[in-house]
Amino acid sequence: MKDISVFSEFMANTTPGQNIILYTSSGEYSVTLETNPETGTGYLGVRPKQDMDAFGMGILFLFMYDLFFWLYLLNLAIGIINFLPIFGITDGCRIVYELLAYVVKNKKLLNAITMAIIIFSSLLVIFNLVGPYLLRYL
């Protein structure tokens, strides 16, 4: 079939239970059509979709969509990691310190509690990264 309109016109004239032959690059296939739930005509189980145009704009659109999806995901992951109080280098460490400073007035105790939280969080992240590999051999 040349294009989507020819396919749609052909499918509009089919009936449920009708046998059709599909010619593909890998051979011929005999298929029995089912009932289209929307129109009651024959149903192959596929929805036709044409490319956006002949110059590959559909491929460009999909590439850009995938690119922005992965950039979004990477940005989100970096933001979440930065929010965690790990290794004493993220913004999460500063947030924990400032929040505890409102409650704990003793500077020495404040530093000890903050360091305990940072060490615990760092160990938790490290265990989540290496733990599954270590637990496999136990």
Residue 50 lies in a domain: no
Residue 49 lies in a domain: no
pLDDT of 118-136, one tens digit each? 999 999 999 999 999 988 8
> How many domains is the chain partitioned into structurally?
2
Range of the domain at 106: 57-136
State whether 86 and 129 are in the same domain. yes
pLDDT band at 26 (very low <50, low <70, confident <90, very high): confident
State whether 61 and 109 are in the same domain. yes
More confident residue, 53 or 97: 97
State whether 29 and 63 are in the same domain. no
Average pLDDT over residues 100-106: 94
Average pLDDT over residues 79-98: 91
Residue type, 52: M
Residue 91 lies in a domain: yes
pLDDT band at 25 (very low <50, low <70, confident <90, very high): confident
State whether 79 and 35 are in the same domain. no
Average pLDDT over residues 59-76: 91
Overall residue count recorded for the chain in this entry? 138
What region does 43 belong to: left with phi over 0, alpha with psi -120 to 50, or beta? beta
What region does 112 belong to: left with phi over 0, alpha with psi -120 to 50, or beta? alpha
Residue 22 lies in a domain: yes
